[in-house]
């Protein structure tokens, strides 16, 4: 699977959650066989939310990390079928390559207040929010990850150290990727001294 950490809501509030793409099958190493999922989803979302919450909180307790008193009793897991291949990758890429807010969504900055627009997730309607400039900057900076913290993680045969297993799966499923052609990059030339890099 591939997991992407997303820390904000559309209103830029702190809302940590993960987007995960799980392949609809698994590789049996003993039999060198690919097993395909039967049905539309891997897990019941309500059971998954209960189990994930329990395991996550237990891991935090074992690390002796303190938790706020207002940890919700019910967590949400939203399982959706996002397609095969390219559509699934396009779904995930929306959360990988976007910043916290795009410039086109910042409507105005009068030196005191910043007004930005966002799409309401329930209705799909555009709404605006006007806040103090320093609060806006704080909202954006709270989503900068600490040093050494990775936003994207790959697991199992998608992990970088599993290239041989991934190649076996591709051969089993008759997935032939085009060979990459190395393109010679043009040398960069300094405008001042003329040195080439």
The region of weakest confidence among 11-15, 74-78, 127-131, 152-156 is: 74-78
Q: Which helix (H) or strand (E) holds 19?
A: strand 14-21
- The alpha carbons of the chain give a radius of gyration, in whole angstroms, of 22
Q: If you ran DSSP here, which 8-state letter would residue 157 be given?
A: G
The 3-state DSSP class for residue 148 equals: coil
Does the structure show a pLDDT above 90 at 41? no
Task: Say if CB 127 and CB 117 are below 8 A apart.
Answer: yes
Report the distance separating Cα 107 and Cα 128, nearest Å. Answer: 9
Q: In this predicted model, what pLDDT tens digit does every residue of 109-133 receive, in sequence order?
A: 999 999 999 998 888 899 999 999 9
End-to-end alpha carbon distance in the chain: 39
Residue among 105, 173, 169 at smallest CA distance from 139: 105
CA dihedral of residues 141, 144, 147, 150 (deg, nearest 10): 170
pTM of the predicted model, to two decimals?
A: 0.68
Q: Which helix (H) or strand (E) holds 92?
A: helix 86-96
> Can you tell me which residue has the tokens 């591709």?
170
Cβ partners under 8 Å of residue 75, min gap 6 = 49, 50, 52, 53
Q: In this predicted model, what pLDDT tens digit does every residue of 71-103 receive, in sequence order?
A: 888 888 887 777 777 888 887 777 776 778 888
């Amino acid at each position: 699977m591939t997991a992407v950490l997303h820390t904000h809501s559309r209103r830029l509030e702190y809302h940590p959650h993960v987007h995960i793409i799980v392949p609809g099958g698994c590789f049996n190493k003993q039999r060198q066989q690919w097993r395909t999922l039967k049905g539309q989803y891997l897990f019941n979302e309500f059971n998954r939310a209960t189990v994930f919450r329990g395991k996550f909180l237990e891991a935090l307790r074992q690390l002796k990390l303190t938790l706020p008193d207002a940890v919700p009793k019910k967590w949400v897991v939203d399982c959706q079928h996002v397609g095969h291949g390219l559509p699934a990758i396009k779904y995930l890429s929306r959360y990988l390559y976007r910043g916290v807010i795009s410039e086109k969504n910042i409507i105005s900055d009068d030196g005191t207040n910043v007004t930005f627009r966002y799409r309401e997730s329930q209705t799909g309607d555009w709404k605006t929010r006007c806040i103090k400039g320093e609060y806006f900057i704080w909202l954006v900076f709270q989503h900068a990850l600490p040093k050494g913290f990775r936003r994207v993680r790959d697991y199992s045969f998608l992990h970088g150290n599993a290239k041989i297993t991934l190649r076996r799966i591709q051969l089993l499923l008759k997935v032939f990727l085009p060979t990459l052609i190395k393109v010679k990059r043009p040398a960069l030339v300094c405008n001042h001294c003329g040195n080439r890099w």
